[in-house]
């Protein structure tokens, strides 16, 4: 399972490129997208989310859902129920998009990827000069190529 973290600023100008990258990921792996957006997290509208609409167009045979995920009682540590729901969706082949406020994006991503036991976490970004990029935050599948030295232990 891959967790992809996207902030609303990266979809303002580069929505099509970001959606293309996410669709590519979804064809190779179970995918949970954690989308930081103050507008969408407050009041998600079914067709208003550019990621939901774009992924539905690019992956017509896959189910795409968006759910609001926010720390309960102000604590990101209480996301177990939301993580369980997301995990169930991914297990059935659904691409799940977790909408959360921008200020909570990092904490929610860290906790959900831990609860979901994600294989990897990627940050998706967009720049006018380079397009949409994927940046590895963490990869469980990566193995060290050499044994740690005594100084590294």
Run of H or E including 42: helix 38-42
* 3-class secondary-structure state, position 31: strand
List, for residues 21-33, the tens digit of each pLDDT value: 999 999 999 999 9
CATH number (2.40.50.140, 3.40.1190.20, 3.40.50.300, 3.40.1160.10) of 2-139 reads: 3.40.1160.10
> Taking Cα atoms as reference points, which of 123, 79, 96 lies closest to residue 29?
96
100 vs 82: CA distance, rounded Å: 11
List, for residues 109-123, the tens digit of each pLDDT value: 998 999 899 999 999
> Taking Cα atoms as reference points, which of 98, 79, 76, 100 lies closest to residue 89?
98
* 3-class secondary-structure state, position 137: strand
137 vs 78: CA distance, rounded Å: 22
Mean pLDDT value of segment 134-145:
77
Q: Would you state the pLDDT for residue 46? A: 45
**In sequence order, what are the residues at sequence separation of 6 or more whose Cβ sits closer than 8 angstroms to the Cβ of residue 79?**
69, 71, 72, 108, 111, 112, 115
Q: Kindly indicate the confidence band of residue 70, based on its pLDDT and cuts at 50, 70 and 90.
A: confident
Q: Kindly indicate the confidence band of residue 18, based on its pLDDT and cuts at 50, 70 and 90.
A: very high
- Tokens linked to 11: 């979809």
């Amino acid at each position: 399972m891959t967790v992809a973290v996207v902030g609303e600023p990266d979809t303002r100008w580069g929505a099509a490129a970001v959606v293309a990258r996410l669709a590519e990921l979804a064809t190779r792996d179970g995918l949970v997208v954690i989308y930081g957006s103050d507008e969408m997290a407050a009041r998600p509208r079914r067709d208003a989310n550019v990621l939901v609409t774009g992924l539905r167009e690019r992956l017509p045979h896959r189910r795409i859902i968006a759910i609001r995920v926010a720390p309960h009682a102000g604590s990101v540590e209480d996301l177990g129920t939301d993580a369980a729901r997301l995990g169930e969706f991914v297990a059935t082949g659904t691409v799940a998009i977790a909408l959360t406020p921008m200020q909570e994006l990092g904490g929610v991503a860290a906790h959900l990827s831990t609860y979901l036991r994600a294989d990897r976490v990627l940050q998706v970004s967009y720049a006018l000069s380079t397009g949409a990029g994927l940046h590895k935050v963490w990869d469980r599948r990566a193995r060290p190529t050499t044994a740690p030295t005594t100084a590294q232990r």
